[in-house]
């Protein structure tokens, strides 16, 4: 059945993971469609409140002061059962 749409990959969600995935697939010459439920990507911020600087560098991005407003030097995460993880 021909639908008029011809994509190799459809990615649902244009957050950091979906956007980076789309970037790499497009660089491999795949036809990529990214679907996002919000009209404007990244507004309001829904995820990625803490992105690893080295992770950004690994995908060819440099933090910009317009969206990377603070540096985080560690975190403490508590699981629902109370286990503490220091990062």
CA-based nearest residue to 41, from 12, 71, 63, 61? 12
Euclidean distance between CA atoms 85 and 49, whole angstroms: 18
- Output the pTM of the full model: 0.55
CA distances from 79 to 32, 61, 76, 82, 85 (A): 36, 31, 10, 5, 8
Both tokens of residue 28? Answer: 């491999």
Give per-residue pLDDT as tens, 33-79. Answer: 999 988 877 666 655 566 777 877 887 878 777 777 777 788 888 99
Both tokens of residue 5? Answer: 């749409």
- In the DSSP assignment, the letter for residue 43 is S
């Amino acid at each position: 059945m021909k639908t008029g749409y011809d994509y190799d990959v459809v990615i649902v969600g244009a957050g950091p993971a979906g956007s980076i995935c789309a970037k790499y697939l497009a660089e491999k010459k795949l036809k990529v469609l990214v679907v996002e439920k919000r009209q404007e990507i990244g507004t309001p911020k829904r995820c990625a409140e803490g992105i690893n600087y080295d992770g950004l560098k690994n995908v060819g991005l440099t933090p910009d002061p317009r969206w990377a407003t603070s540096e985080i030097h560690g975190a403490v995460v508590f699981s629902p059962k109370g286990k503490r993880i220091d990062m």
